[in-house]
Structure 1
Amino acid sequence: MKSRFHSLFSAYRPQVLLQSLKPFSSTSTTKAIWNSKTNVIITNPTLLIMESCTTMLELKQIQAQMTCTGLIMHTFPLSRILAFCALADGGDIQYACLLFTQIEKPNTYMWNTMIRGYCKVQIPTIGFSFFGQMVRQCVEMDSRSFIFALKACEQFTRILEGHSVHCLIWKMGFDSDLLVRNGLVHYYAEGGFLSLARKVFDESFVRDVVTWTTMIDGYATRTCSDEAMKLFGSMLVSDVEPNEVTIIAVLSACSDKGNVGVGKTIHEYVQRRM
């Protein structure tokens, strides 16, 4: 089984793919929308400026300052530089890739950042190649590694890569992780593989509102309104409360069936409970 994983993932090598990749850089005038949330309390002045960075010009100035002071040698500051380049609207994914290749021992967060960054710019093949490298190099993975890999797979036209990630999830024992299972339900539902999504859903011993809503929305989106309504009924007798997104999905299913009566009932439920 190991050789099968490696044979698939070895086909995705960023060094080769980057040679044919057209430049993808944002201009220095582009304002960044950067999710810079971190649990770390930041007190260093340079890092505080980093958190409000908006352009690659500013980023390179900050990076130069970090290099002069030696701050760049520490993992957290370097990860913030990489995250801006890969994830900010004002970033530059190719610059992030160049920076990544110069990091001696990138941690899991850095690997995940590269996968996520290439998904963001809709170049899933390279994003998936980083996941493949993690597999080949036995890099420690966390739940987000699989979530971002599945996000890359959502942009492929075939299911082979997604199936391989699913097998690896099972092989590495992440199949009991709720976040990962929700990612699998979303991946299969988003691709229209509703029977596979439902299989993952049914095999989930723990389900939260995301699990239920993702499956209901998957049915509603694919005009399987009866299945969506039945599942919503099961949710109502479970210990999980629906949220606004759940209700929107259910109302979409009602609209598709033209069932005004059920729609009114759901409206009354919303008025009572939400």
Structure 2
Amino acid sequence: MKKLVILSVLLGLLAACSSNQSPSENSTTKTTNNSSVAQNTSTKQESNKQSSSKESQTKASEEKTPDGAFQELTKAYPDVKMPRKLPRDESLFLNIAAVGNQDKLSVLYYNLPQALVMNHHSLNQATPFASFKKTTYDTVGKAKAAVGYQYDDGGQKVDLGHSIAGYQQSGTGSTYLSWKEGNWSLLVRASNVLGQEPVTTAKEVVNYLEEAFLPIPKSVGQIIIDLTASNQEANTITWQEDKVVYTVSHEDPLPALEMAVSME
């Protein structure tokens, strides 16, 4: 009889233990499920971050190149001599639009708050500060004619320093000052209406060219500095090398000369 009572008690205790363990197992199952949900959420968030990062990288690559616009230009036209120095506001980004091939190339340079890939469509609405051209002609004669060489030693003689004499003449509303240096002919145009005078600029050019060396024309070169203009073609330097004619221009006179001097 005692054995039966003891057995009954033991069975009761086992039943109670089994009943107490069920909530713990359920809790463990719930915790596992919650952990799985958290992992899925974390995976989705990480995937969204990666997707957003890829979109940002793609957008950045459309707007800015790692090497810069100038590196893009030289890689696209590795055999073309071109200016290596582009005087400008260094706080802004150099941007470039270029069209052509190794024989005939036109380049426009822009100074903008944002760096863009070469030939970005938004450059169509921007204003360039400088330009470069290379043109190959069929004959040396055609190339020479394309330079537009002009020199006039008439008018008032002006001492420009360094044993160089210029010749000044006045026309309709303008004053022109011409002189020669080697195979180069140089001309400064000033506006009488705006109260400009060409001598000061001419002397600055002469002084600069005493220290810097322009390319040697084969056979002629022409420099025109137009003080009456303010666009990227206001100051133009053109010269011939056999069948090839090079032209660099800049909105300011001395920077245009610096561009030509840096040709390589």
Taking structure 2 as the reference length, what is the TM-score of the superposition? Answer: 0.23
Q: Point out the structure with max Rg over C-alpha.
A: 2
Identify which of structures 1 and 2 has the higher relative contact order when contacts are C-alpha pairs closer than 8 Å and 6+ apart. Answer: 2
Give the structure with the larger strand fraction. Answer: 2
Give the structure with the larger helix fraction. Answer: 1
